[in-house]
Amino acid sequence: MANIILVGAQWGDEGKGKIIDVLTDKVGVVVRTQGGNNAGHTVFINDEKFVLHLIPSGILRKDKKCVIGNGVVIDPIGLCEEMEGLKKRGVKIDGNLFISETAHIVFPYHRELDSQREVLKGKNKIGTTKRGIGPAYADKASRTGLRTLDLINKERFKELLEARTNENNLILKTLGANPLSFKEVYEQYSVAAKYLKPYVTNTVMLLQEELQKETGILFEGAQGTFLDIDHGTYPYVTSSNTTAGGACTGSGVPPTCIDYVVGVMKAYTTRVGEGPLPSENSEIADLLHSMGREFGSTTGRPRRCGWFDAVSTSYAVKINGISKLAITNLDGLDTLGVIKVCVGYKYGSTTYNYVPSDINILTKVEPVYAEFEGWKKPTIGASNWKELPLNARKYLRAIAELSGARLNIVSVGPDRKQTIFV
Ligand code: IMP
């Protein structure tokens, strides 16, 4: 079976959860390799809604091994709640979930620092999810982080946590925030450590065994290409590598074992939080919000919306090595007479066909649009390619071609059944 990396080709929230769920059928193992509980993957199964934040969506299928890899940052309290919530709904966790012993831990001081830094930034705030993701990755890079193997080692954990809490309390006090009680955090985290211990293991060796057995591994990306710490719209990004390379560093599986990369993108564009969004448009935002669509699954915030942006998706195809595209949310455009697609960014006398790195340029570019005729018919009932309206097929072919990869999957609704293989 193939080893597949799945990435978001836009700014996150591309509908990856559903595509991951569909592709899970083809593999034996699903791995999360970056990010933390800032992510929210929504999956509908027979009208039942599941929102996953840290646990790979593969958990919703029986007998799939699910791995939280070394590249993830784990909020243990959030993870325990997520596991308990799923267990109560009859989802099998024991024997199916494995947590990397070297994944880093998110602590309350990370969340507090995340919030305080946003306040300090004022109008330049990033609009983070306030889950402590940035400060936790900063500790990892500064070599001052604690990993799951520290969390589950009683003696070592106490000593390390006390030192880290004291140090971070000094910073919090300087920022005018309340210091945290070491005792409270220690007690709370010790309960979580006991709960999580049986699931913690060397996931690198586990994945190496699965590679030998050729079970097939799906690497489920969280967030999206333009939130990548290196390739995104810095500084308006998250703190991990959301692009394809992150799947390898975040799991210990080498690039030579990857068969192909699937890119997921919406038939239009959305973004949560601050930062440039060149094809942002209030008409399409009002339309989607009035349909009750495009509210964040982690924070509930309304997402910013815009026309499909082929400049950014073609860049995403290049840097991720995407060969297959999954286009989601086509049905969101069903009522429109004219649909626009951004095909260039104009800045002075220059027209960019790629995403400029300088944020000061990117925030000022004028989108150049191509126009497509809408189909003005519901696509939600279509079960195969031929059942889609002609104009919808033309639109899908055009945006895949402009992006530079082959169209493989079209999603016309949240359920597994509302999936068309092209
Ligand atoms: P952080 O990851 O919480 O630090 O937030 C940094 C930026 O990434 C903010 O603009 C968030 O809105 C955005 N972000 C983080 N996680 C997600 C996600 O899962 N979907 C979409 N945007 C996200």
Residue nearest to atom 2 of ligand 1 (CA): 238
Query: Of 41, 53, 104, 231, which residue is the catalytic one?
Result: 41
Q: How confident is the model at residue 182 (pLDDT cuts 50, 70, 90)?
A: very high
User: Residue 212 C-alpha to ligand 1 middle, in angstroms?
Assistant: 35
Instruction: Report the topology of domain 4-101+200-261.
Output: Adenylosuccinate Synthetase; Chain A, domain 1 (3.40.440)
Q: Is 334 a catalytic residue?
A: no
Does the predicted TM-score (pTM) go above 0.85?
Answer: yes
In this predicted structure, what is the pLDDT of residue 113? 96
In this predicted structure, what is the pLDDT of residue 41? 86
In this predicted structure, what is the pLDDT of residue 46? 81
Mean pLDDT (whole number) for 92-98: 97
pLDDT > 80? residue 219:
yes
Pocket test for ligand 1, best of 54, 112, 223, 270 (most atoms within 8 A of CB): 223
In this predicted structure, what is the pLDDT of residue 109? 97
Q: What is the pLDDT of residues 245-255, one digit of tens each?
A: 999 999 999 99
User: Residue 157 C-alpha to ligand 1 middle, in angstroms?
Assistant: 29
Alpha-carbon gap, residue 56 to 330, rounded angstroms? 25
Residue nearest to atom 1 of ligand 1 (CA): 128
Pocket test for ligand 1, best of 16, 140, 227 (most atoms within 8 A of CB): 227
- What is the second-level CATH architecture of the domain 265-421? Alpha-Beta Complex (3.90)
Q: How confident is the model at residue 381 (pLDDT cuts 50, 70, 90)?
A: confident
pLDDT > 90? residue 375:
yes
Q: What is the pLDDT of residues 320-335, one digit of tens each?
A: 999 999 999 999 999 9
Q: What is the pLDDT of residues 135-150, one digit of tens each?
A: 999 999 999 999 999 9
Q: Give the start-to-end residue ranges of the domains of the chain.
A: 4-101+200-261, 104-196, 265-421
Q: Do domains 104-196 and 265-421 have the same CATH topology?
A: no
Mean pLDDT (whole number) for 167-186: 95
In this predicted structure, what is the pLDDT of residue 45? 84
Which atom of ligand 1 lies nearest, measured to the CA of 131? Answer: 3
Q: What is the pLDDT of residues 365-374, one digit of tens each?
A: 999 999 999 9
Q: How confident is the model at residue 378 (pLDDT cuts 50, 70, 90)?
A: very high
pLDDT > 90? residue 296:
no
Pocket test for ligand 1, best of 14, 20, 38, 140 (most atoms within 8 A of CB): 38
User: Residue 38 C-alpha to ligand 1 middle, in angstroms?
Assistant: 6
Percent of the chain with pLDDT strictly greater than 70: 100
Yes or no: say if 20 and 263 are a contact pair by the CB < 8 Å rule.
Answer: no
Which atom of ligand 1 lies nearest, measured to the CA of 133? Answer: 4
Query: Of 13, 21, 139, 150, which residue is the catalytic one?
Result: 13
User: Residue 351 C-alpha to ligand 1 middle, in angstroms?
Assistant: 29
Least confident of 45-49, 60-64, 65-69: 45-49
If you average pLDDT over every residue of the chain, what do you get? 96
Q: How far, rounded to the nearest angstrom, does the alpha carbon of residue 38 sit from its chain's CA centroid?
A: 8
In this predicted structure, what is the pLDDT of residue 225? 98
Least confident of 31-35, 48-52, 305-309: 48-52
Joined together, the tokens standing for residue 266 give 């919406």
Q: How confident is the model at residue 276 (pLDDT cuts 50, 70, 90)?
A: very high
Q: What is the pLDDT of residues 157-174, one digit of tens each?
A: 999 999 999 999 999 999
Q: Which residue has the tokens 């959860």?
A: 17
In this predicted structure, what is the pLDDT of residue 301? 85
Nearest to 136, CA basis, from 187, 221, 76: 76
Query: Measuring from each residue's beta carbon to the nearest atom of ligand 1, which residues come in under 6 Å?
Result: 12-13, 38-40, 126-129, 131, 133-134, 222-223, 227, 238-239, 272-273
Nearest to 81, CA basis, from 20, 34, 128, 37: 37
Which atom of ligand 1 lies nearest, measured to the CA of 35? Answer: 2
User: Residue 122 C-alpha to ligand 1 middle, in angstroms?
Assistant: 18
Which atom of ligand 1 lies nearest, measured to the CA of 240? Answer: 2
Alpha-carbon distance values, 12 to 29, 76, 343 (Å): 23, 23, 20
Q: How confident is the model at residue 62 (pLDDT cuts 50, 70, 90)?
A: confident
Which atom of ligand 1 lies nearest, measured to the CA of 275? Answer: 10
Mean pLDDT (whole number) for 287-309: 91
In this predicted structure, what is the pLDDT of residue 47? 83
Mean pLDDT (whole number) for 11-24: 93
Which CATH class name applies to 104-196?
A: mainly alpha
Mean pLDDT (whole number) for 220-246: 98
User: Residue 341 C-alpha to ligand 1 middle, in angstroms?
Assistant: 24
User: Residue 237 C-alpha to ligand 1 middle, in angstroms?
Assistant: 7
User: Residue 158 C-alpha to ligand 1 middle, in angstroms?
Assistant: 31
Structure-model confidence comparison of residues 296 and 250, the more confident one: 250
How long is the chain? 422
In this predicted structure, what is the pLDDT of residue 398? 98
In this predicted structure, what is the pLDDT of residue 402? 98
Joined together, the tokens standing for residue 170 give 């000094």
Residue nearest to atom 10 of ligand 1 (CA): 273
Which atom of ligand 1 lies nearest, measured to the CA of 274? Answer: 10
Residue nearest to atom 9 of ligand 1 (CA): 128
Q: Is 13 a catalytic residue?
A: yes
Q: How confident is the model at residue 115 (pLDDT cuts 50, 70, 90)?
A: very high
Which atom of ligand 1 lies nearest, measured to the CA of 130? Answer: 3
Residue nearest to atom 15 of ligand 1 (CA): 38
pLDDT > 90? residue 297:
no
